[in-house]
Amino acid sequence: MTTATTRPSDRRISPVFLGIVAVTAVTGWATWTGFAEKPGIAVFLFVTGAWIVSLCLHEYAHARTALHSGDITVGSKGYLSLNPLAYTHALLSIVLPVIFVIMGGIGLPGGAVFIERDRIRGRWRHSLISAAGPLTNVLFAVACTAPFWLNALDGVPLEFRVALAFLALLQVSAAILNFLPVPGLDGYGVIEPWLSHSVKRQIEPFAPFGLLFVFALLWVPQVNAVFFDLVDWVLRGLGVSEIEASYGWSLYRFWN
């Protein structure tokens, strides 16, 4: 087992993450003010930037919870800096989720941080580490929809409003998918500590394919319809209509 300590520099926010936040802020301003000549491009950059920020916060939540649960190696691995380039699988963690959004308007998460589970004692702690990521998506969805369920939309430009609606759809879909008890997703990580050793051994070979299985399943029209009905039901509960989210999705795909 390796040893490591968390230094102050390990917690310093990465310039890469700050750059993504800056792009999100500037394009959000452009969407709000109508500064962009083509609002679809501004909406695309704003939503994509905010989506990547949420992915970074998702993985940070995993790492931070692991740190307080006993894995002191997460700092030396760069997981506390919010730098997406420090993740174990940058392709799975950032690139693929963005591609999923572009292709299907689905907030499908990816795997990123490697937690040294043998350093952590207690099944509840293991479950909490896995749950921390999708709970971040839940909080992000609540924040995005706050103007809707607080009836505070007076003066909010249409383009910015529907961009928030679509971003909320991504967060809700990410939370629902991530909580599925499928190997490779956080939902399985929540229940795994409570499974018998024999059951875990039988499931383990399928873990690398869980994410791809879910993505493929979502292309089945019947499954896709049921899934988005559930997403729309949650969004309606948060004050966001299907029309607003759909319009945000159409603006996001500015090239169509």
Which sequence positions are flagged as catalytic?
Answer: 59
Residues 234, 138, 143, CA angle at the centre, nearest 5°?
A: 90
Query: In this structure, are residues 74 and 84 in contact, taking their beta carbons and an 8 Å threshold?
Result: no
C-alpha distance across the termini of the chain, in Å: 52
- Which pairs count as long-range contacts for 87-90, CB under 8 Å and 24+ apart, including other chains? 87/59, 87/112, 87/113, 88/112, 88/113, 88/114
What crossing angle do the helices spanning 15-33 and 158-178 adopt, rounded to 10°? 140
